[in-house]
Structure formats: structure tokens, C-alpha cells
Amino acid sequence: KKIYPTLWWLFKDGLLPKQTYFVGYARSDLSVQGVRDKTTQYMKLQDDEKDKFEEFWTMNYYVKGTYTERTDFEHLNQEINTLPKGDLAHRLFYLALPPTVFKDVSSNIRLCCMGHEGWSRIIVEKPFGRDLESSADLSQHLSKLFREDQIYRIDHYLGKEMVQNLMVLRFGNKMFSPLWNRDHVQCVVITFKEPFGTMGRGGYFDESGIIRDVMQNHLMQILSLVAMEKPASTSAEDIRDEKVKVLKCMPPLELENVVVGQYTGNPEGEGDAKNGYLDDPTVPKGSVTPTFASAVVFVKTERWDGVPFIMKCGKALNERKAEVRIQFKDVPGDIFGGQCKRNELVIRVQPQEAVYCKMMVKAPGMNINPEESELDLSYGARYKGVKMPDAYERLILDVFCGAQLHFVRSDELGEAWRIFTPLLHKLEKEKIKPVPYKYGSRGPQESDDLARKFGFIFSGTYKWTKPQL
């Protein structure tokens, strides 16, 4: 669904080096035509692109082989060597694999398939382990095979337009600098919501749960970008150094600051909404795997000490949304009789990318009554007609260019797991039962109570309105 469409988009836009060839490798008994049949529906093919599309598939090859046998990878290498420049070419390996075969495949690539003249780079998809110990084991394994500058741990959220925009918003605007600290910010809320459940893939999801699937990686990456200090430059290492410093200043998560939930069927819903997580036949009976989690963490630095960072993510919720919401403190010396709501700066990652600032203005009319409004930069309106690259497009092109800015470094990964591992082990060891919430709701009421406990105020009186384009 993702890899081949991304390669096609990069190819048709002329962003890849000429004479780039694509070699698929798997255990499946497939052919190039079989791969094409499986992926074309996701390619977003236009009528005037058909000739280019045919050209793309002439650059594709497929090799069948096991993940464990060295001889199969020697055969793969022989096939690669038959292509133009063969052994002299650059090589990029994308590992979209189950964790059980990862070590075998990466070892065989190192032994059999590395180029001898050009660079060789390897893209690794999550999960990057299940906890601190397994992640460290995986990182140690990779470090024995490849240099850190050859390893690209891909988190597609780091390729999203608005996540990348956090750097410019923070460090390219003087107006935000004096406010971006504990003296003015009440709390930071980072949200990821999906309006659908596991959709028959619960067995796969049950192995990880929402904390490992979303919070420990996507949301923590966003948090570190929000909280970090200004880097010395925009180089990958300078920025990743600052992100690691943030994580090092965060103590492990406490269970008392966490709410976990699991969705149940909605009798009034339609289709999949009628079914709860445990109704999915692929989910183990009686599973206590969370499909929702809300957690409060703290960054113990001079800038952020005492400011709660509230992370919330879940499936089968009331809307599709990913955003960062920075809620500022109340205006001191209120002269409007409690009518003023808190200012908020909201960075909407998806859908409809936008940056907007909730603020109080005078309502039109004869009286001086404040009402909520916004300063709104909606990308669809301001940059109408400008193509927003897919996150995977950006990231895979970065790998071709050798740019590691938007990829996760090993020490960064280790610190993130240090923060979450004690909580995950406690949840699993004690089999803590998640709070049920109805499919299509905002999630458990306990999550709202937790946010309120740490000072977040949800007034419910304002809703961002999509601008007319």
C-alpha cells in the first residue's frame, strides 16, 4: 500500500536518479505482474501518466527466496549484479518485515548483498523492539552490521508536513519565543485519533497495542520537537542531539498518570461500529490490550519543569485527527467577568493541515463582549494547488540523499523505550483491564478527567471551521 506507490510517485516526478531499478524480494510466489496487480489500486494513476507507468514497471524485478538461507541472498545479489552498473551501484534496502525474521534478513544482506563501490543504506520499519531490552538487542545487532549513518529507522510521522513545520514555527518566529515556556504555557496536548477499529487486523494489533503502535514513537517524536531547545544548526545531528536531551530529562511514565481503554460496540452504530475490539475474531479471547491510551509526562528542564505534556491516542474514536495543542495560561487580572477562554496555538497534522491560534476578540455589535475566534493558516487555502508530498515520499527521498534528519537515532530510540518500558511491563504483568469506551465516542471519560486534573480546560464552546476554498 505504501512502498510501491511511493516509489512510483518519486519516479513519475523525476525525483529519483536515472537508471534506478526496483527489486522486490519475498517468500511469496509472485512475479512483477503479480506485484503490479496488488499495488496499482493504491498508485493514484492519472490518465495522462499511463506511458510513464509502463516505463516504471520495466524498471522492476522480483526475486523469490527465503529469509534465512544465505544461498537465497547470494542469488538475490547475483540478480542485482545483472542490472546496469551492478556491483558498482548504490543500494538501498527497505526492510518491511515481521520482527521474527529481521535479524536473519539483515545479517544475510550484510554478508551477501552490499555494494562494493557505491553506498549501501538500510531502511528499518517499526516496531523497533517491544521494550528497552529488545530494542537495545536490535540496535546492538544492527550496529555490528552497519554504521549508524547507513541505518534509517523510519517513522512516517516525521515526514508529515506539519511535523516538519514545528521547527520553523518555533525557531523562525520571534513572537513565539518568549511564550514557549513554563511561565506562559499551561499544558501541551498531543492527540492522535482514528475513527475506525482494527477492521479484522486485531490479531496483528494485539501484539503491540496502541502505546507501542502510536504513543511511544509518533507522539514522542512530536513531543521532543515541541520541547527541545534551539539546535546549533539545522543539521541532522544537531537536531537529534537536542531531541535526545529532551528525552533524557523525562522520568519513566507512572501508571497513576495513565488511562488505558478498549472500545466496545456501539448498538446505534452502523457496520463495523457495532462491533467491539473483542468481537474481532482475530483478537485473543479476553484480551486486555489497550486500543486507547492517555498519558501525562513531564520534561524536567528549566523551560518546561511542571508543565504537563498530555498524550492521547486511540482507535474507534469520534473523528480522524492528529494535532498539537499548546494551551496558554489564563489572563491575569480578568476584567471581562470570566468570559475569556484560554488562548491556544494548534498545529493540525491531519487532516486539512493547518496552524491556527485561538484568541479572544470583541463580538460584532454595540457591546464589548469577548468571543472566541482564530488566526488561521489553512494550508489548503494559503497554498491552494501546491502538491503536499506524502510522508513516505519525503523520507525515502531523504534516504537517497543521505539525509538522516527525519529518522530515529539509536540513542533516541533507547531513551523513548526507557520512559515507556516500566509502564508496559506493569500493564502486561498485572493484566490491568482497560476502561471500556463506546465505538465513535471521545474515548473514556477517565481520560478527560486526567487531563482536567493536570490543568487542561476543554470548554467545548469552540470548533475549528474548515475554510471555504
* Residue 62 β-bridge partners: 24
* Residue whose cell numbers read 488561521: 376
Residue type, 248: K
Query: Do 197 and 272 contact (CB within 8 A), yes or no?
Result: yes
Q: Give yes or no: residues 299 and 187 share one domain.
A: yes
Query: Do 392 and 156 contact (CB within 8 A), yes or no?
Result: yes
CA nearest to 418, candidates 29, 32, 55, 132? 132
Peptide bond into 127 cis (omega under 30): yes
pLDDT single digits (tens) 390-420: 778 888 889 988 988 888 888 999 999 999 9
The domain boundary residue, chosen from 154, 170, 195? 154
Res. 455: pLDDT tops 70 = yes
Res. 87: pLDDT tops 60 = yes
Residue 265 confidence (pLDDT): 92
Q: Give yes or no: residues 303 and 424 share one domain.
A: yes
How many whole angstroms separate alpha carbon 259 and alpha carbon 435?
A: 8
pTM score, two decimals? 0.90
Query: In this structure, what are the phi and psi dihedrals at residue 139, rounded to the nearest 5 degrees?
Result: -65, -40
Res. 468: pLDDT tops 80 = no
Residue 370 confidence (pLDDT): 83
Res. 467: pLDDT tops 80 = no
Query: Do 298 and 309 contact (CB within 8 A), yes or no?
Result: yes
Q: Give yes or no: residues 172 and 307 share one domain.
A: yes
Res. 202: pLDDT tops 60 = yes
52-71: average pLDDT: 93
Q: Give yes or no: residues 205 and 335 share one domain.
A: yes
Range scoring the smallest mean pLDDT among 57-61, 153-157, 382-386: 382-386
How many whole angstroms separate alpha carbon 244 and alpha carbon 418?
A: 12
Residue 338 confidence (pLDDT): 82
**Which residues, at least 6 apart from 212, have a Cβ–Cβ distance to it below 8 Å?**
127, 130, 420, 424
How many whole angstroms separate alpha carbon 314 and alpha carbon 292?
A: 4
pLDDT single digits (tens) 92-144: 999 988 888 889 999 999 999 998 888 999 999 887 888 999 989 999 999 99
Res. 193: pLDDT tops 90 = yes
pLDDT single digits (tens) 51-61: 999 999 999 99
3-state helix vs strand vs coil in the chain, percent to 5: 40, 20, 40
State the CB neighbour count (10 A cutoff) for residue 68: 14
pLDDT single digits (tens) 227-268: 999 999 988 899 999 999 999 999 999 999 999 999 999 988
Residue 233 confidence (pLDDT): 92
Retrieve residue 289's grid coordinates.
490490550
Angle of helix 410-429 versus helix 132-145 axis, rounded to 10: 150
* Residue whose cell numbers read 537517497: 400
How many whole angstroms separate alpha carbon 326 and alpha carbon 222?
A: 12
Residue 426 confidence (pLDDT): 95
- Give the domain CATH number at 19: 3.40.50.720
Res. 293: pLDDT tops 60 = yes
How many whole angstroms separate alpha carbon 218 and alpha carbon 130?
A: 15
How many whole angstroms separate alpha carbon 293 and alpha carbon 447?
A: 8
State how many domains the chain has: 2
Query: In this structure, what are the phi and psi dihedrals at residue 330, rounded to the nearest 5 degrees?
Result: -65, 150
Q: Is residue 218, in this structure, part of any structural domain at all?
A: yes
Report the mean per-residue pLDDT for the chain: 89
* Residue whose cell numbers read 488511562: 259
How many whole angstroms separate alpha carbon 49 and alpha carbon 63?
A: 27
Residue 72 confidence (pLDDT): 95
How many whole angstroms separate alpha carbon 399 and alpha carbon 393?
A: 10
Q: Is residue 465, in this structure, part of any structural domain at all?
A: no
Retrieve residue 249's grid coordinates.
530529562
The domain boundary residue, chosen from 154, 187, 209? 154
Q: Give yes or no: residues 111 and 247 share one domain.
A: no
How many whole angstroms separate alpha carbon 337 and alpha carbon 331?
A: 12
What residues make up the domain containing 443?
158-386+411-454
Res. 8: pLDDT tops 70 = yes
Q: Is residue 225, in this structure, part of any structural domain at all?
A: yes
The domain boundary residue, chosen from 107, 135, 154? 154
Q: Residue 30: exposed, middle, or buried by beta-carbon count in 10 A (0-12, 13-18, 19+)?
A: middle
Length of the chain: 469
Q: Is residue 19, in this structure, part of any structural domain at all?
A: yes
Res. 466: pLDDT tops 70 = no
Q: Is residue 399, in this structure, part of any structural domain at all?
A: no
Query: Do 322 and 193 contact (CB within 8 A), yes or no?
Result: yes
Q: Give yes or no: residues 59 and 178 share one domain.
A: no
**Which residues, at least 6 apart from 274, have a Cβ–Cβ distance to it below 8 Å?**
265, 266, 267, 439
Query: In this structure, what are the phi and psi dihedrals at residue 293, rounded to the nearest 5 degrees?
Result: -150, 140
Q: Residue 326: exposed, middle, or buried by beta-carbon count in 10 A (0-12, 13-18, 19+)?
A: buried
Q: Give yes or no: residues 203 and 305 share one domain.
A: yes
CA nearest to 289, candidates 207, 200, 215? 207
Q: Give yes or no: residues 145 and 204 share one domain.
A: no
Q: Give yes or no: residues 92 and 57 share one domain.
A: yes
- Strands 22-26, 60-64: parallel, antiparallel or unpaired by DSSP? parallel
Q: Give yes or no: residues 103 and 170 share one domain.
A: no
Res. 469: pLDDT tops 90 = no
Q: Is residue 118, in this structure, part of any structural domain at all?
A: yes
Q: Give yes or no: residues 225 and 369 share one domain.
A: yes
277-296: average pLDDT: 93
Q: Is residue 361, in this structure, part of any structural domain at all?
A: yes
CA nearest to 253, candidates 450, 458, 452, 457? 450
Residue 260 confidence (pLDDT): 96
Q: Give yes or no: residues 86 and 180 share one domain.
A: no
- Give the domain CATH number at 260: 3.30.360.10
340-351: average pLDDT: 86
Q: Is residue 401, in this structure, part of any structural domain at all?
A: no
Residue 86 confidence (pLDDT): 82
pLDDT tier at 462 (50, 70, 90 boundaries)?
low
**Start-to-end C-alpha separation, the chain:** 29
Range scoring the smallest mean pLDDT among 46-60, 195-209, 335-349, 454-468: 454-468
Peptide bond into 98 cis (omega under 30): no
Q: How many contiguous H segments (helices) and E segments (strands) does the chain have?
A: 15, 14
CA nearest to 157, candidates 440, 347, 299? 347
State the CB neighbour count (10 A cutoff) for residue 59: 16
Is 184 part of the annotated catalytic residue set?
no
Instruction: Spot the catalytic one: 75, 116, 218, 425.
Output: 218
Retrieve residue 222's grid coordinates.
512530536
